[in-house]
Structure 1
Amino acid sequence: MRESSTTAVLCLASASPRRRELLSSIGVEVEVRPVDIDETPSVGEAADAYVARLARQKAAAGVGPSSLPVLGSDTAVVCDGVILGKPRDQQHAAAMLRGLSGRAHQVLTAVAVSGPAGMLEACATTRVVMRDIAEHEIAAYWATGEPADKAGGYAIQGLAAIFIERIEGSHSAVVGLPLFETAALLARQGVPLWNGADR
C-alpha cells in the first residue's frame, strides 16, 4: 500500500491513520509508505529502548526514491514494567484491561526522523490513570471492535476515553505521535510546519 500526495513533504513509515491525522493537524502532508519489521522485543530490552529501536528501524526501512525525510514511530503501553502489545484475542484484551483498571500505567511513544540532519529521535512518556472498569464494560468494549488492534487493548481517542480518569504528559503521544517532540525534529530536518518552523 502506498498513498501519495503532490503536496507531501514527509514520508510516513506507517499505515496508521491516527499518525497521519496528527501530522496533518500540524500542517504536514505525508506520503504513506508502510514498512514491515519484526516488532518482537529483545530479551531484557527496556520499554524505552524497545520503542526507540522500532522507531529508528521503521524510519530507516521507509527510505525510498522520493528523497523525502522519513518518520517512524512506535508506541508501547507499559504496566508494572511489562510491555502490553496488541491483544491476541478477546480473553487477552480482557486480561489487559483488568490489569489497567483502577490504576496508573505508562505509554511510551518514540519518534525517529531520517533526513538531511541524519537520524533524529525523541521519546515521550505519559502517565495514564484509568478508573475502575466493570466486567460488563470490558465485554461491551471488545464487542465494538475498537481494541482489537490497539496496544494495551484500548484507544484513548476512541470509546475508551470514558475509562480515562486523567493523564500526565502528552495526549497526542498516547494517540500515536508526540506532536511537541515531533515538530521539533521535523523543523531540524527542514520539514515545513504550519507556522514555518523550519525557517
Structure 2
Amino acid sequence: MTPSGIVLASNSPRRKALLEKLRLRVEILPPCVNESRNADENAKHLVERLAAEKARSVYAEDERLVIAADTVVNLNEKVFGKPASKKEGFLMLSELSGKVHKVHTGVSMVFNQNWETFSVQTDVHFRELNDEMINWYWSLDESRDKAGSYSIQGAGSVLVEKIVGSYTNVVGLPLRETADMLAKFGVEIFKDNFSVN
C-alpha cells in the first residue's frame, strides 16, 4: 500500500519548498506541540523527539503519509533554537562567531501506523563576526524564525566559511536521507511513473 497523499506537519515554507523540489505535493497541517527542551536533553534526542511529537499531533490514521521535522543548532552542548528577540539573535550570532557548530535535524514519518524517526548532523564553520556584521545581518529580517538566528540559503551564507555534511539539513530538511526514508514507505521519487497527489 502506498500513501494517497503527503502531509507536512510544519509551518516552514523552506521544508515545503524542499519537498516540492522532489515533485511532491504536500498538504500543510501546522503541528501543535510544546517545543521546550527537557532537562539534560541533548540536541539529537531533542530534534528526534520533537519531530515525532509533531508527526503524532497531526496523524489521522488515514491513507496519507505524515512528515515532520525539527532543527536546532548546537555549540558545545548548548542548544540554540529560534531567537525570541533581536538581543537573543545578536547573542546567538556572537557565540557562533569563528566557531564550528552542529546543525541537527530530526525527521519523523508515519504511514499506516508505521513510524520511523531519524536525525542528521551537519558541521557549520562560521567566520569571525564583528558587531557591525551582526547588526547588518539582523537588519535584513531573514533570521528571526531560524534556528541559530541565520539562514544559510539567504544572505546568511556570507557568515559561513564552509559546511561538512548535508546543506539541505542546515536549511531544515535533509533531502537525501528523507528521500531514502520515503522509499521505505513506498514513495519512490526516482521512478518514472511516480505520483503522490
Q: TM-score, normalised by structure 1?
A: 0.91
Distance 2:42 2:137 in 1: 30
Residue equivalent to 2:40: 44
Distance 2:37 2:20 in 1: 30
Residue equivalent to 1:14: 10
Specify whether residues 117 and 37 from structure 1 end up closer, same or farther in structure 2 by C-alpha distance, changes over 3 A only. closer
Residue of structure 1 aligned with 2:179, choices 167, 170, 183: 183
Report matched runs for 1:120-139 at 5 Å: 120-139=116-135
Residue of structure 2 aligned with 1:151, choices 147, 167, 180: 147
Count of aligned residue pairs for this structure pair: 192
| Structure 2, unpaired ranges of 5+ | none
Q: CA deviation at 1:192?
A: 4.1
Residue equivalent to 1:106: 102
**More off after superposition, 85-94 vs 46-55:** 85-94
Residue equivalent to 1:81: 77
RMSD: 1.9
Residue of structure 2 aligned with 1:63, choices 46, 59, 77: 59
Q: Give the secondary structure class of the aligned counterpart of 1:50.
A: helix
Specify whether residues 46 and 20 from structure 1 end up closer, same or farther in structure 2 by C-alpha distance, changes over 3 A only. same
Deviations 1:16-53 (A, max 9, x none): 11000100111211011111100000111111000000
Q: Which amino acid aligns with 1:187?
A: A
Q: TM-score, normalised by structure 2?
A: 0.92
Q: Which amino acid aligns with 1:134?
A: N
Residue of structure 1 aligned with 2:138, choices 137, 142, 147: 142
Residue equivalent to 1:193: 189
Q: Which amino acid aligns with 1:76?
A: V
Distance 1:9 1:85 in 2: 30
Distance 1:178 1:148 in 2: 21
| Structure 1, unpaired ranges of 5+ | 1-7
Q: CA deviation at 1:80?
A: 1.1
Distance 1:141 1:160 in 2: 7
Specify whether residues 112 and 127 from structure 1 end up closer, same or farther in structure 2 by C-alpha distance, changes over 3 A only. same
Distance 1:195 1:175 in 2: 26
Asked if 1 retains the 8 angstrom alpha-carbon contact of 2:62 and 2:112, the reply is no
Specify whether residues 197 and 73 from structure 1 end up closer, same or farther in structure 2 by C-alpha distance, changes over 3 A only. farther
Residue of structure 2 aligned with 1:23, choices 19, 25, 40: 19
Distance 2:114 2:89 in 1: 38
Asked if 1 retains the 8 angstrom alpha-carbon contact of 2:61 and 2:112, the reply is no
Q: Give the secondary structure class of the aligned counterpart of 1:149.
A: coil
